[in-house]
Structures are given as structure tokens and as C-alpha cells.
Amino acid sequence: MKKNKELTFIDFFAGVGGFRLGFEQAGLRCIGFCENDKFALKSYKAMFDTKGEWHKDDINTIKSEEIPYADIWCGGTPCQDVSIAGMRKGLSGDRSGLFFKFIELLKGKGEKDKPTFIILENVKGLLSSNRGFDFTEYLYQISQAGYDAIWQVLNSKDFGVPQNRERVFLIGHLRSRGRREILPIQGENSATLKKVIGGCQGERVYDPKGISCTLTGCGGGGGGKTGLYYVGNVNPSGRGMNGNVYSSKGLAPTVTTNKGEGSKILIDQSHKKPKLTNIARCITSRYTAGIVNRSASNSAVLEARAVLTPERINKRQNGRRMKETGEPMFTLTSGDRHGVAIKEATTKGFAEAHVGDSINLSFPNSKTRRGRVGKEIAQTLDTSCEQGTLTENLRIRRLTPRECFRLQGFPDSLFDKARKVNSDAQLYKQAGNAVTVNVAYEIAETIKNSAYK
């Protein structure tokens, strides 16, 4: 590719233009787009200057020869049928099955008319849909279209927005034009994969400061799926490199990785009571046991109550620690820490929420949901955006459409344009369906830099 050539792209499954905005911020130029949702299309046209661009409303009506040449085809393919939040019909579902139409359009192009790159985004559930066979079919179809594929799960929280949103990003390189190094992309909270203990699959241990190795459905063995993590070392001499005194068991007073200082120490977090160990315990099918990430998929009954010093369950005091639902808050004093307790289907029975935390408001009558509270970060936005936050006066309020667009990386100036043409209900849906702008920008920057090498 020629030096400083302006890269062009076509925005399929465009939504409200998350890919477009990120790519344009990186200096790429959009020459066309396709979006079927009439409300999302109204926002898209209000937010961007689309005059003179190629445009189609329905991908099912497009013929390959109609599509102008572009260096990149990108799109957030529909996720409803592969998401763990849906019925999981898989790629055979009506919505997610539109991926096959996208592939058909690629196959219908002559080699010289195909884009050099395809970039697809979808939910992480694509990797496990239909026991992994759907993703295998996904890769096979891309290969049949002439592309070699690489992919990575990227989390929006690592790219400058306070939203815990994991999505699979797949990049296909047209095989006849060679391959360029684009992935992995590292966000601000990521690091390189660092192996601290070798061995076969299931026995290798990686430093928790780095990214995780690929999880497989059949991974088992010594450390597979058990929550076994490397945390430090045992120093048999009883004294560290800096003179720090070790415990009677030889355990460092702080987690260290002192080279040449004793043996490795692991912590097994697979059960309710984590323990130090040098072997993994039995693998169980209950993967949510013990210490788990609080995500939108592990959720609980929503019942907010005022609570006094929630971190001290047995605090001595006159009166109750927790109010009934609907009762006023305790009197604020300088000596107590106040918050609200959000009822969850966990052993503890509730999660603590403090000012600035997010709270999942969906399915308030459910008796099985967990992970209601996000600590100073929003959980994954869905099409309903049923999330709230705890305010300074200890009231729970729902996030506004503007805040949801901000969580996806859209500036207020573009949101204001979308708001003029759509209702709040549609804006919530559009924010939940969008590709995070910051992540799209990082991908575009990497592609641009690799293309000019």
C-alpha cells in the first residue's frame, strides 16, 4: 500500500456510527454505509455528513457488484442470536445469520475488488455459541471468502471509557495481499502475556499482571478452570532482598517476585475460602463458585436498602444497621461510612454500593441475579440501558441517554444531533447496540500504521 494513501471504509451494520466515528478520528474516510433500523439511521444521518456516499438500508437487497471499492469493510454484526443474554439460536438465527449475507457479498467480488481488511465486532458469547461450533463456522466462512482471520477480546474499560464491555473484534486480511501484524492491541490496563511456570496446557501459570491466555472448552489438568494464580514466593531464609522479615511459614510480607528467592506461591481462588497451594484442586462444573467477576451475566435481585457502615457486619451500635426498603436514610455523621446495600442472590445476600458506583436496575423481581453493583464503573450497556448510579444524597437514579452515549465514546455534540431526531427509548437502544468509539479508533490506528509499512 502506498505511503500516506488515504484508507477508505464501508460501514456495514452501521448502527449510530461507532466504527465510523472511531475510524474518522484516525484519519480514515467513509465512502458508504448500510443500516436497516430506521431510527438508528435517523441518528446516523443527523450525526454525520453522508452526502454523496453509497448507502443501502437492507443488506439482503445488496448485490456485490453494486458496492464500490473500499480498503476496509467493517461492521458490528447482529449479536442477538449468539449472546448469552438471548435465546442462543446461534448463527442460524435470523439476526446473527446476516453474517452469511456479508460473506456472500465478499465472495461475489473479484480478487482485485475485495477490501484488504474486514473488521467484525460481536459479543464474547460468539466464542461459546453452540459449544464453539458457531465460531468455527464463522472462521471457516471467512477463510472461504479468501481471508485469514485473527481476533481478540477487547474491553472498553481499557480504552478510556468507564464501561466494562467485552467484545470480540475479528480482523480478516485478504490472503492474496499478505498479512500484517495488527493484533494484539493493548489498552491502558493491559500488559503482555507473561508465563511464570511452564508445562503442558492446564499446568502453565501466568502472571496476573498480564493478559490471560486463551481459554478453551476442553482445558483441564493442573490449573485449568480452577482460579489458580501466581501471587509471590516462599523465601526459606526468612528474610527478603531488602531485609524484610518473612512469616514463620516463609511467606513474604508482601506479594513479591524476587528472582532467586525461594519457590513460587500460588493462590487457589476456586472455592469460597481461597488458600495458598502449589497444586490445583478438583475442577468442578460450578464455574461461578468462589471468587468471580461481577458482570452483567452474574446478576441478582435488586432491592436497595440504606445501610450503616456496610463493611462492618457486627458493628456495635444502638438500633439497626440496615433500613427496610423505602425507609429514610440514617442521619449522616462524620464518623460513619454510608451507602446502600443492593440485595443479591449471593451468600452474603447483598452488595455494597457507594457514591459513583453503578447499579443494574433490570429484572428487579428476579431471585437469581447477581453482580448488581459496578465499582466506579458501568456494567455492559444493553439495548435497554437499565443502569443507575448512586448520587451524593444516596438516591439511585437511572443513567441518562447522554451518559450512555458518553460511555460509548460519543461526544455531546453528536449526541445532541441524535437527540433532535429520536426519543429517549431509541437513544438508549442505540447506545446499547453501538461499537465503542475508543476501541474502533485504536484498531483503525493500528491498521493505518501497519498498512503504510
Question: Do 100 and 120 contact (CB within 8 A), yes or no?
Answer: no
Q: How far is CA 212 from CA 154, 195, 200, 207, 274, in A?
A: 12, 10, 16, 9, 20
Where do the domains of the chain lie? 8-189+434-451, 296-379
3-state secondary structure 247-291: CCCCECCCCCCCCCCCEEEEEECCCCCCEEECCCCCCCCCCCCCC
Cell of 450: 501497519
Return the CATH superfamily for domain 8-189+434-451: Vaccinia Virus protein VP39 (3.40.50.150)
Mode of pairing for the β-strands spanning 387-390 and 358-360: antiparallel
Cell of 108: 461475489
397 strand-pairing partners: 389
pTM: 0.66
Question: Which region, left, alpha or beta, applies to residue 152 given φ > 0 means left and ψ of -120 to 50 means alpha?
Answer: beta
Query: Per-residue pLDDT for the chain (453 aa), expressed as one digit of tens each?
Result: 555 678 999 999 999 999 999 999 999 999 999 999 999 999 999 999 999 999 999 999 999 999 999 999 999 877 555 444 545 455 565 555 788 899 999 999 999 999 999 999 998 888 887 778 888 888 999 999 999 999 999 999 999 999 999 999 999 999 988 777 777 787 765 444 555 555 554 555 655 554 445 444 444 444 444 445 555 554 444 444 444 444 444 444 444 444 444 455 555 544 445 555 555 444 444 333 333 333 333 333 344 566 655 555 555 555 565 666 566 655 555 445 567 888 788 888 888 888 888 888 887 777 787 778 888 889 888 888 888 888 888 888 999 999 999 999 999 999 999 999 999 999 999 999 999 999 999 999 999 887 655
What are the catalytic residues? 79
